[in-house]
């Protein structure tokens, strides 16, 4: 009787340990601008087919037109939804954030002191900002030509729209630095005293995976998905030559030095198809979701 009980207890323990060791970490998905949870159906399928048993959490918040809500408000909203998931999984979670969502995720990593995000996958996100008024990013009020968008975006009114929060006009540096309510502070383009704490929090991640490509068609310049951006002559300045990297303003250089940054560049992928492309999933995403 006693030994049976022991066997039972031991196997229960092994079972728990097995689940603990072998289980895939849950994956949290954050959508992009003008999108919602429905757009992640394929990606969810890819994940659960490759790694059966993975819990995929698609956060349903600020969907579709509501995705134009100011970025900090979205950061707060997503953070509140994601926190309980993190608490439920003390071994960590993965964060996969698409397009505008990649900036929201960076903001929430900055603002969450004890987060347990293992790998942060930024899927075609304008991490260094956007300077391209493509058809997809149009919404009533926004001027059709990128040269004029700053007029709409760089003031208190414009900053009520998410896109304006990361609009980065290389020809209007001082207007950008003064007005940008989100990108300028998170990229350290406007100094402020919270940066040290944000950096510390951000550096809790183990891996940063940056995915993007030249045929994206929306993210402009497309290298913004890899933290590259235009200088004031619209020449490309790669991540490693960006001021925020050289000065390690929010931890990119530290993360890179410890081997924590991976990039995956793929041609032939249009912006709206990144999350539904099996080759992209197989080549760039799957191996991180363990």
| Distance of closest approach, residue 217 Cβ to ligand NAG, in angstroms | 11
Give the residue carrying structure tokens 């757009």. Answer: 39
| Distance of closest approach, residue 98 Cβ to ligand NAG, in angstroms | 14
The distance of Cα 176 from the centroid of its chain, to the nearest Å, equals 22
By CB under 6 A, tell whether 187 contacts ligand NAG. no
Nearer CB in complex with ligand NAG: 69/270:
270
Show which residues are catalytic.
99, 216, 271
- Environment class of residue 136 by beta-carbon count within 10 Å: exposed (0-12), middle (13-18) or buried (19+)? middle
By CB under 6 A, tell whether 277 contacts ligand NAG. yes
Nearer CB in complex with ligand NAG: 121/269:
269
Q: How far apart are CA 157 and CA 143, in angstroms?
A: 14
| From 280, 281, 288, 289, residue interacting with ligand NAG (rule: CB under 6 A) | 280
By CB under 6 A, tell whether 279 contacts ligand NAG. yes
Give pairs for 141-149: CB < 8 Å, separation 24+.
146/220, 147/171
Q: How far apart are CA 65 and CA 56, in angstroms?
A: 24
| Distance of closest approach, residue 104 Cβ to ligand NAG, in angstroms | 24
Give the residue carrying structure tokens 């903001």. Answer: 107
Q: How far apart are CA 31 and CA 85, in angstroms?
A: 17
The distance of Cα 279 from the centroid of its chain, to the nearest Å, equals 20
By CB under 6 A, tell whether 112 contacts ligand NAG. no
- Environment class of residue 181 by beta-carbon count within 10 Å: exposed (0-12), middle (13-18) or buried (19+)? middle
Size of the site for ligand NAG (CB under 6 A): 8
Alpha helical stretches, state H, the chain: 2-22, 41-50, 71-88, 100-110, 146-153, 162-165, 173-179, 183-186, 195-202, 243-246, 252-257, 278-280
Nearer CB in complex with ligand NAG: 104/211:
211
Nearer CB in complex with ligand NAG: 68/280:
280
Residue nearest to ligand NAG (CB): 268
243-272 residues in contact with ligand NAG (CB under 6 A) are 266, 268-269
By CB under 6 A, tell whether 123 contacts ligand NAG. no
162-181 residues in contact with ligand NAG (CB under 6 A) are none
By CB under 6 A, tell whether 151 contacts ligand NAG. no
**Spatial contact of 163 and 68, defined as CB atoms under 8 Å apart:** yes
Nearer CB in complex with ligand NAG: 79/266:
266
Q: Which residues bind ligand NAG (CB under 6 A)?
A: 266, 268-269, 273, 277, 279-280, 283
């Amino acid at each position: 009787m006693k030994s049976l009980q022991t066997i039972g207890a031991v196997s229960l323990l092994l079972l728990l340990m097995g689940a603990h060791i072998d289980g895939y970490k849950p994956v949290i998905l954050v959508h992009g601008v003008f999108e919602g949870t429905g757009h992640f159906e394929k990606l969810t399928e890819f994940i659960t087919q490759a790694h059966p048993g993975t819990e995929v959490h698609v956060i349903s918040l600020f969907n579709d037109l509501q995705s134009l809500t100011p970025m900090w408000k979205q950061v707060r909203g997503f953070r509140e939804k994601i926190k309980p998931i993190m608490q439920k999984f003390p071994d960590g979670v993965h964060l996969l954030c698409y397009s505008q969502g990649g900036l929201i995720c960076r903001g929430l990593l900055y603002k969450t002191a004890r987060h347990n995000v293992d790998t942060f996958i930024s899927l075609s996100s304008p991490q260094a900002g956007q300077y391209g008024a493509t058809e997809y990013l149009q919404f009533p009020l926004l001027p059709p030509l990128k040269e004029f968008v700053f007029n709409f975006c760089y003031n208190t009114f414009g900053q009520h729209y998410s896109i304006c929060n990361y609009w980065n006009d290389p020809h209007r540096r001082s207007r950008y630095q003064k007005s940008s309510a989100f990108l300028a502070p998170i990229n350290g383009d406007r100094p402020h005293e919270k940066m040290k704490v944000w950096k510390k929090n951000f550096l809790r991640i183990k891996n940063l995976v940056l995915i993007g490509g030249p045929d994206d068609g929306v993210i402009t310049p497309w290298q913004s998905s890899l933290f590259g951006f235009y200088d004031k002559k619209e020449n490309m300045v790669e991540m490693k030559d960006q001021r925020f990297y050289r000065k390690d303003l929010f931890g990119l250089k530290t993360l890179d030095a410890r081997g924590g940054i991976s990039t995956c560049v793929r041609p032939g992928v249009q912006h709206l198809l990144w999350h539904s492309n099996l080759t992209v999933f197989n080549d760039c995403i799957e191996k991180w979701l363990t």
